[in-house]
Amino acid sequence: MIKKVLQYIILGLAVYAAIVMLVINFYKDDPQAMIWQDREAFNNRYINKLKPEQSVQIDQVLETLGSPDLTYVKKQPSKMLQIVYYRTQLVKPDGITTQDECTGLLFENGKLILWGPAANVAYEKAL
């Protein structure tokens, strides 16, 4: 009797471990489904991992972080500048996302060129 109970416990633990491993390996985070605190942390982690030598396209960012909280575009004959803002820190809990609560990512013709405060400055100076 005790042997059978132990077998069921071990079987249950094995099934549980298998499910946990499947979820960890195959479940993709969906920023749109996260609560705002988790989404801020997720956005912050992703942006902090960006490196200058990476060739990041806007499609990759949109796929990972979802739709931006704010976005602005400036078109010039030879290039298009787009800055997208993702919320990374809460400033005022009023339910409205403002630019000072976000980190900007600046794209030139779809390629990431700057992020953070430098992106805001460069976008404002352009045209």
For 28-42, the pLDDT digits (tens) are 666 666 787 888 899
Please state which of the four CATH numbers 3.30.1450.10, 3.40.640.10, 1.20.120.160, 3.20.20.70 is assigned to the domain occupying 30-125.
3.30.1450.10
- Residue ranges covered by each domain of the chain: 30-125
Provide the whole-model pTM. 0.73
Mean pLDDT of 58-86: 91
- Strands (E) in 35-91, as ranges, are 70-75, 80-87
Q: Which residues face 104 on adjacent strands? A: 85
- At residue 12 the predicted structure's pLDDT band, cuts being 50, 70 and 90, is very high
- At residue 107 the predicted structure's pLDDT band, cuts being 50, 70 and 90, is very high
Residue 106 DSSP class: E
Q: Of all residues in the chain, what percent carry a pLDDT higher than 70?
A: 94
Tell me what pLDDT residue 84 has.
Answer: 95
